[in-house]
Amino acid sequence: MRKVLFCLLLLTTAKVGAQGNLSGDLMMNVNFFQRDTNINASNNQLYDNFLSGGEGWLGLRYSGYGFTGTVRFDAFHNSNLQNPTSALTAAGLGMFSLSKEFQNLTITAGHVYDQIGSGILFRAYEDRGLLIDNALFGLHLKYRLSNKLTLKGFTGQSKNLFERYKPIIKGFNAEGDLDLGSKAHITPGIGLLNRTMDQASMDAIVSTINSYPSAERFAPQYNVYAATVYNTLNAGDFTWYVEGAIKSHEAIATDKGLRNHGGNVAYTTLGYAKSKFGITASFRRTENWVMRTSPNEILLKGFMNWQPIIAQIRPQRLIARYTPPSQELSEMGGSLNSYITPNDNLSINLSYTHINTLAGDALYREGWAETEIRGIKNFILHLGAQYLIYNQAIYQQKVPALYPNVNAITPFVEVVYKLNEKKSLRAELQYMSTKQDFGSWIFGLIEFNIAPKWSFALSDMYNIEPNPVHVKEAHHYPNVFIAHTRGAHRFTAQYVKQVEGINCTGGVCRYEPAFSGFKIGITSTF
């Protein structure tokens, strides 16, 4: 009832506020599930009974007189977004917030999206592709003490769909903005976080610990404390970001059950860029850095932060199958990327990524080379290749004897041909050579664009040399896509068969089973 009254108050204020501004956005997805036992798109209610489902978000935002109010309605009707093998049906106010700014102080009540530093310590954000929405529901204060120092403080609970996780989260953040002479600039910061466990969550933890042998038992803590220190330095052609974080001991979930560990993270990136050359080096070491509302939550549930991913996220369809997610318990890795543009018609990108566990076990290796050529009239040519080693047993939690490390080489080519000012053709061809997992693949795509309104694409992914250990016979995975943009509205429709595998967004990954059927999407802003 209180949420309804809040919405009515917001909309009423928007109508009477002649100097205010009202805007909004709509996003809807509809899926039609087509049973296909050949690719294992079957044997659950979505394919066997319900046959259709979808989800939608409608948001409204009003600003005026120093106030900002936001409301979003979420609906999930037989949606496969939360769990691709089962249906989610729920609807209600997904978020609402009201902010007021006066005398350098901004007060926000309701659902808050924010982060400290890079997000290693705390990040409340939304990613609809994976149904991530861990907004902090509570109170958030931001005070601009001066042009060189900003303070933030917050308290609340992490959002859990239309409810909230019970533990309480409290945080503080101070961030500076300083010049060092005429050629250097720094933005240092510190962050503090405290999470207090609720009694029901603690009871579940105690019950689990008491089931262990006496030698493995420990006394869990209601409170965990964490801190981070970070800084960005810009000096001439150099940019350097560095962050270090620690947290106190608490019960965390490991592959051996609950264990009492503290945690730490070290992360840095160093970049140098000139007009025709750039190089970036990144490094991260992670040890027992599990930041969740409680150890009772697993997978994408209950996490309070986000860890930067060391590996590059590649858009190529075959290569994206083996994107490595950040590891919470044990990871140490680095990457080196260089960009060379000798002239306007040629660019070259070379990179190498090396990621291990703290014990020295190989997690991920990538060697990457690509070039873009624009010197041919009306053509853009993109060529490249990747070599990778991917620890499938750890990243996908599979049996090592059946799923050894994936060793793959993937050359690819993309050609864009500009027919005229509005029309263009784009073609892709990729080949992944590997003996592990599903075996070797070939992928082809052709796309026709009529700017700014139409886009048509036809693609196919084929298991050209299947691995007999996991694949009985080769299958095609076609995709027929059409998109139409009309003003602020974009409509999409596609027929798709998708192989099971890992879906990653922003470095956060999850396993998804095969999909077969039709998808319709609508996005709009007003």
* Residue 12, pLDDT above cutoff 70: no
pLDDT at 454 over 50: yes
Distance (Å, rounded) from C-alpha 108 to C-alpha 96? 10
Q: What is the rounded CA–CA span in Å between residue 337 and residue 519?
A: 36
Span 50-73, average pLDDT: 94
146 contacts: CB under 8 Å, gap ≥ 6: none
Per-residue pLDDT for 513 more than 90? no
Geometric angle at alpha carbon 384, from 371 and 388, rounded to 5° = 135
- Rg of the chain, C-alpha, whole Å: 25
Among 57-66, 118-127, 301-310, 507-516, the minimum mean pLDDT is found in 507-516
Dihedral class, residue 39 (left if φ above 0, else alpha if ψ from -120 to 50, else beta): alpha
Indicate whether 122 belongs to any domain: yes
Secondary element (H or E) of residue 127: strand 126-127
Whole-number pLDDT of residue 59: 96
- 41-52 exposure pattern, b = at least 16 Cβ within 10 A, e = fewer: bbebebbeebee
Give a yes or no: residue 169 inside a domain.
Answer: yes
pLDDT tens by residue, 203-253: 999 999 999 999 999 999 999 999 999 999 999 999 999 999 999 999 999
Q: Tens of pLDDT along 320-371?
A: 999 998 999 999 999 999 999 999 899 999 999 999 999 999 999 999 999 9
The residue segments making up the domain with residue 140 are 103-308
**pLDDT at residue 375, as a whole number:** 87
Instruction: Kindly state the tokens that stand for 502.
Output: 């890992």
**Of 367, 263, 239, residue with least CA distance to 311:** 367
**Cβ–Cβ < 8 Å for 268, 242:** yes
Domain count, the chain: 1
Q: What percent of the chain has pLDDT over 90?
A: 83
Q: How far lies 348's CA from each of 32, 337, 411, in Å? A: 42, 11, 15
Find the DSSP H helices in 386-489: 392-395
Please, which pLDDT band fits residue 8 given cuts at 50, 70 and 90? very low
Which helix (DSSP H) or strand (DSSP E) does residue 490 occupy?
strand 489-498
Residue 37 inside a domain? The answer is: no
pTM of the model: 0.89
* 66 inside domain: no
Q: By percentage, how much of the chain surpasses pLDDT 70?
A: 96
411 belongs to a structural domain: no
Asked whether the predicted pLDDT for residue 477 surpasses 80, the reply is yes
Rounded distance, CA 312 to CA 76, Å? 32
Residue 42 lies in a domain: no
Q: In the predicted model, what is the mean pLDDT of residues 131-153? A: 96
Average pLDDT of the segment spanning 150-170: 97
Q: Could you list the beta-strand ranges (E) of 131-276.
A: 132-133, 136-146, 149-160, 163-164, 168-176, 178-180, 184-186, 189-196, 223-235, 238-254, 257-273
Least confident window among 3-17, 44-58, 137-151, 172-186: 3-17
Compute the mean pLDDT over every residue in the chain, rounded to the nearest whole number: 93
Query: Could you identify the residue written with the tokens 């090396």?
Result: 354
Amino acid of residue 423: K
pLDDT-derived band at 124, boundaries 50, 70, 90: very high
pLDDT at 83: 87
Does the structure show a pLDDT above 60 at 16? no
Question: DSSP letters of 248-291?
Answer: EEEEEEETTEEEEEEEEEEEEEEEEE-SSEEEEEEEEEEES---
Q: Where do we find the tokens 């007021």?
A: 100
Of 14-23, 158-167, 507-516, where does mean pLDDT reach its minimum?
A: 14-23
User: How far is residue 205 CA from its own chain's centroid?
Assistant: 28
148 within domain boundaries: yes
447 in a domain, yes or no? no
